[in-house]
Chain A
Amino acid sequence: MVERRPTLGILAHVILILGVLVVALPVYITFVASTHTAQEVVQRPMPMLPGAHFIENYTAALQGGSHGAGSTAAVGRMMFVSLVSALIITFGKIAISLLSAFAIVYFRFRFRMFFFWAIFVTLMLPVEVRIGPTYKVVSDLGMLNSFAGLTIPLIASATATFLFRQFFLTVPEELVEAARIDGAGPMRFFKDILVPLSATSIAALFVIQFIYGWNQYLWPLLVTTNEDMYPVVYGIKRMIAGGDSQNEWNLVMATAMLAMIPPALVVMLMQKWFVKGLVDTEK
């Protein structure tokens, strides 16, 4: 900063530390609750220090079969469903967007701009505004309770297509000319030049879309009725039923921790790509 002002410097640290603590508080309480027995958690006030039942609770949650009033499905299976669907959504989105952006930028054909605008308009049709009819289509196609139903309707992505289009437009023309002189066909150029050049954009999109896929809630709520196909974010909601004392809150909180860890890790470990992804996808 411009001048030294020790009091302001201290104030800045105090405010930031307060901010960090307030932001972390819900997760700390969740963690504490996940390490106690169900009886200890529903005491008033609940304990504020971690208890001794960490391993017990997490094993119980992962394997399922608790005695709560809500769903008692195994969280291990839910984590698997979440991981598989998040990865399919992420790679699916990246793949189909790369291909369509390539077609729109590097070819001239009839209805090119029509397709461009058709993809653009999907920005204005989020799942939330067409849930009823989309549910009907998926059920007519027999895709309820399947990975296909959980993922395919979510893999169309206008944002990713635009991001790649913007990027392709900045790729120097000389590269295409050179590739053509060397006798490379369009797919060869795509595979050996364009995709490697897009690596940073792909990494940035990966972080954003993985979180998007992992955190889906409304869509699984509609298309899954079978406990075997619950993603963890939706499954956790199903574990809560009836009054406060009927739930095994320690296991619910252990599940919440498990549901938060993968996307939080992706954000913290890939922070650079995460920030780039956020900024790029909003342009």
Chain B
Amino acid sequence: MEKRVVFRSGWLPWALLAPQAIVIAVFFFWPAGQALVQSLQQSDAFGTSVNWVGLENFQNLWNDETYLASFKTTAVFSILVAVCGISLALLLAVFADRVVRGATVYKTLLIWPYAVAPAVAGVLWLFMFSPSIGIVAYGLEAIGVDWNHLLNGGQAMTLVVAAAVWKQISYNFLFFLAGLASIPKSLIEAAAIDGARPWRRFWTIQFPLLTPTTFFLLVINMVYAFFDTFAIIDASTQGGPGKETSILVYRVYYDGFKALDLGGSAAQSVVLMVIVVVLTVLQFKFVEKKVNY
């Protein structure tokens, strides 16, 4: 789509674009280019010598079992976050769509966690589950669960997943609520007249018609779990115990800033860029579908 009527000026459009162009050139493209270049280099920790090593950094990553383990951790983490977050939000949205009285109150009371910073969410959950002082850890002990996420990798994963889901539920909830509202009431009435009970109506009408929303949320939640949960992990488990909750983004940070392996970190950045491109393409594909249904 283009405008038929436009303004004519030689310099004005350039001046208007300049601020955005300068920011993206200096802080996006230049660093991204640097990451590409560095991924082909190896330097020592003091930055005194730099060698071209071709694809060696990538080969090292490929041969590094902990990096491959980190891929697995990320996959487990993001699938858990997406599946738990989406199903809980769907449950709440279906019931919120049902109630007539108090619907806005419930909505207001369910959407605010979106505003909580991931780092703060991490701190809150860390405090509740802290093995020595946490109230939930205390409760779990009372029912016979020995909670210590500082030693038990599975429990550490549960903790970060819970914090991440808690923060994301409001987002999924809002999109499901909008999706449910756009399903024509006449379809549901027709089914009811034909004798379909609520449970049956949900599975044969509402759930299939929500498929585009669900796929869209699946992609968005994956992106969220991949990139926006760095703060949750850094604030609660710091990737530990060992490397049990060290997702890919956490590793880029750790290897680059703590372990000072610049080449390796840059190579990981390049791998992440490829993942983002794939996820973005997926996102656009599903957004198209969402608009069309």
> Contact residues of A with B, CB < 8 Å?
1-3, 5, 8-9, 11-13, 15-16, 19-20, 23-24, 26-27, 29-30, 33, 41-42, 44-46, 48, 95-97, 99-100, 102-109, 112, 115, 118-119, 122-126, 128-138, 152-153, 155-156, 161, 169, 173, 176-177, 180, 185-187, 189, 211, 214-215, 217-218, 221-222, 233-234, 236-237, 240, 243-245, 249, 252-253, 256, 259-260, 263-264, 266-268, 271, 274-275, 278-279, 282-283
Contacts and interface: CB of A to CB of B under 8 A. Distances in A.
B115 A132 contact: no
A217 B234 contact: yes
B28 A259 contact: no
B189 interface: yes
B3 A176 contact: yes
A26 B130 CA distance: 13
Among all A-B residue pairs, the 8 with the closest Cβ atoms:
A133-B34, A133-B31, A215-B117, A217-B231, A263-B115, A103-B16, A107-B13, A12-B95
B20 A126 contact: no
Given A44-B133, A45-B138, A131-B252, A99 B20 contact: yes
B276 interface: yes
B17 A115 contact: yes
14 contacts: A15-B92, A15-B95, A16-B92, A23-B166, A48-B135, A118-B29, A125-B29, A128-B230, A132-B35, A169-B1, A173-B5, A187-B12, A244-B132, A260-B115
Contacts of B118: 215, 217
Interface stretch (B53-61, B67-75, B79-87, B96-104): B96-104
Interface in B98-157: 98-100, 102, 106, 108-121, 123-128, 130, 132-133, 135, 138-139
Interface residues of B, number: 99
Contact of B127 (A11, A19, A30, A48): A30
A27 B28 CA distance: 37
A123 B124 CA distance: 30
Contacts of A26: 121, 124-125, 128, 166
A110 to B, nearest CB: 10
Given A48-B135, A100-B16, A105-B3, 7 more contacts: A96-B23, A106-B3, A108-B6, A115-B21, A124-B280, A176-B5, A283-B287
A179 B130 CA distance: 64
Nearest to B198: A8
